[in-house]
Amino acid sequence: MSSRIKVAIIGAGGRGLNAHGRHLADHPDEVEVVAVVDPKPDRRQLAMSMFPNLRKDRVFNDWQPFIALGKAADAVVIATMEDLHEPIALACAKLGYHIMLEKPMAPTAQACRNIVAAVKQARVIFAVCHVLRYAPYFQKMKAIIESGILGEVMHIQHAEDVSYWHFTHSFVRGHNRNTGQSSFSLLSKSCHDVDIIRYLMGRRCLQVQSFGGLLHFRRENKPARAGDALRCTDCRFEPKCPYSAVKIYITKGVNIGADAMPGESISRKLDPDELRLALETGPMGRCVYECDNDVADHQVVNFVYEGGQTAAFTMAGFTEGGRRTSVQGTRGILRGRLESGSLRRYDFLSDQWHEEKITARGGHGGGDPELMRQWLTAVRCADQSKIITGPDETLETHLTTFAAEESRLDGEVKTLEY
């Protein structure tokens, strides 16, 4: 390998370009981006502006012509939609590329198994973007647990409070709304969280049980005053609706922008007339009670781990947003919220609270840049152990997530088989 790691980006959307790509662009002495793949012309153009040395004949609208080049880089970042992860990852592993793969690994358990088998057979460095593990906040939480000051961990409570506008954007109006074209919401949104609970617990999950479903965002819950309106821009009830696309994207000015899935971008870069036109014609202006969504809008999962310890997880789309965690040990309790970077520990012996503040820069509480740093280090050193989201444990937490969804659907407690 040359002094600079040569990287290709497959999928130049919000994650591939705005998160991972931005880190690569900020470290030109360490990394050279030599190829970019994306079906959208504006994303390819943006990539070329971010990486001025990128050759035009190394910018593709489809991943297969890139694969046909043979091995044209040292490593690849795969950040396409999850239904493409398996074929791309298998092809890249066969060519000997080191791989960073966006989460979720794939929409089926078997596809996840296939990917892990391929990367292990090829002996390439492999990381899945469970970025919460890399966030300084969760790293500090893990260090406190391992110090023994909490005693033995008995139970973990964790919640992903998906903000109401984010949930409607991605899981009612957006790409991840329907299992037929994407995956179920626990996998696409919260496999991060199943993974971070396992990381904090430090042991394998044995059984899972889950409840939840699509309760609110259904046609029968449409307010009567909304009548037969299919879009917020045509609805007389719109000013009173908290899920109004006009309110979220124009009045409130939520900037989804390039972080959105293809076809969903709503950005402050658009002027009011352009925003209005996007809501009148595009998918993000639809009434939340008139979409073809079928994924759960709320879900709870219970876990039993080796040794008898338990955990409980809640995902709900009816909140202001954020992640909250409570770790309960035999000598104390640790509580915190990722977005505030605050941790509070209560000691049972002294009956006193102790507080810590964790500061970090970058997405996901600093997890995004730290993941990239560790992955690039692992690639440079040819050492998989430099990564804390390697293939085996990542497969384990994905299989736990699939089992939880099966439990939600059939009402049975599931025993994990790895």
- When the pLDDT of each residue in the chain is averaged and rounded to a whole number, the result is 92
How far is Cα 375 from Cα 386, in angstroms, rounded to an integer? 7
Read off the pLDDT of residues 373-413 as tens digits, 9 standing for 90 and up. Answer: 999 999 999 999 999 988 999 999 999 999 999 999 999 99
Q: What is the pLDDT of residue 16?
A: 86
pLDDT of residue 69: 96
Contact 210, 408 (CB under 8 A): yes
Domains, the chain, in order of start with CATH, read: 5-124 (3.40.50.720), 133-217+293-363+395-415 (3.30.360.10), 219-285 (no CATH)
- Nearest CA to 30 out of 7, 8, 52, 4 is that of 4
Residue entry with tokens 């909304």: 226
CA distance 67 to 166: 34
3-state secondary structure at position 210: strand
The phi, psi pair for 293, rounded to 5°, reads -75, 145
> In the block, which residue shows the tokens 């999850």?
82
Name residue 329's beta-bridge partners: 153
Which one-letter amino acid corresponds to residue 156? Answer: I
Tokens coding 185: 């919401």
For residue 366, the model assigns a pLDDT of 82
The string of pLDDT tens digits covering residues 144-173 is: 999 999 999 999 999 999 999 999 999 999
| Other beta carbons within 10 Å of 89 | 27
* pLDDT score for 30: 92
Please give the average per-residue pLDDT across 124-131, as a whole number: 95
* Beta partners for residue 414, in sequence order: 208
| pLDDT given at position 403 | 98
Cα distance between residue 344 and residue 335, in whole Å: 5
